[in-house]
Amino acid sequence: MDQPTRQRRGLLIVLSSPSGAGKSTIARMLLESDKDVTMSVSATTRPKRPGEVDDLDYHFVDDAGFDAMIDEGDFVEWAPVFGYRYGTPKAPVKDALREGRDILFDIDWQGTQQLEAAMGEDLVSIFILPPSMNELEHRLRSRGTDSDEVIADRMSRAASEISHWPEYEYVLVNRDMDQCVAQVRAIVAAERLKRTRRIGLVTFVRDLIGPAH
């Protein structure tokens, strides 16, 4: 493809689900296979889990640090989740959109609503459902990172998170990880081709048929 037809606005791809539905794995597989997508790294006041890396999985900050980021207007959205605060830094989102890159968000329904209000036309929202609540609990336990108490708490909140599914444009049931990733890729491919996002088409078509039409 030549340059003008390639030019397009970047997408904000939101993946939401109750934790344990496979969202992080789907995100990782998409990032590995598509160099035009970068991950938004959120800030959080939640303590680091074993194996998590600061500034890669999250920017781990304390309450005062999070307050300072709010005061500076650093967040495009933020919300309390499971007793901690999570927020999306604004600067990387603006950079990605300006450069026509896509950015992937692993955020909850509260953050999705705020992003929708702030930059809805660039947003593509996808909700991932688990195949069953039993399977969800099994996946949470097999991670081995959370205590029984935390798992019970996450299960009790999962139903209320799932209740927000109608607010999303696309809803997938994660029965099979590879199939789910393929579906996410298909959504991204189609969304990139939308006329409204393909700013390069205007000059391409003008060159094609001339300015009189």
Question: What are the phi and psi torsion angles at 122 (to 5°)?
Answer: -95, 0
Residue 6, SS3 per DSSP: helix
Residue nearest to ligand 5GP (CB): 111
Q: Which is nearer to ligand 5GP, 163 or 196 (CB)?
A: 163
Q: Which stretch binds ligand 5GP (CB under 6 A): 2-10, 28-36, 83-91, 180-188?
A: 83-91
The C-alpha atoms of residue 187 and residue 110 are separated, in whole angstroms, by: 22
Q: For 19, phi and psi rounded to 5 degrees?
A: -65, 140
86 near ligand 5GP, judged by CB under 6 A: yes
Would you say 8 or 105 has its CB closer to ligand 5GP?
A: 105
Binder to ligand 5GP among 11, 21, 37, 88 (CB under 6 A)? 88
Q: Which of 11, 81, 158, 181 binds ligand 5GP (CB under 6 A)?
A: 81
Q: Is 45 in the site for ligand 5GP (CB under 6 A)?
A: no
The total number of residues written for the chain in this structure: 213
d(CA 213, CA 205): 10
- Decide if residue 111 touches ligand 5GP (CB under 6 A): yes
**Binder of ligand 5GP out of 10, 103, 106, 130 (CB under 6 A):** 106
- Tokens of residue 122, six digits: 């660039």
CB of 199 to ligand 5GP, least distance (A): 28
Q: How far are the Cα atoms of 8, 37, 38, 52 from residue 112, in angstroms, in the given order?
A: 22, 18, 17, 24
DSSP code string of 68-107: HHHHTT-EEEEEEETTEEEEEEHHHHHHHHHTT-EEEEE-
Instruction: Determine if 129 is a binding residue for ligand 5GP (CB under 6 A).
Output: no
Residues contributing to the site for ligand 5GP (CB under 6 A): 19, 42, 46, 77, 79, 81-82, 86-88, 106-108, 110-111
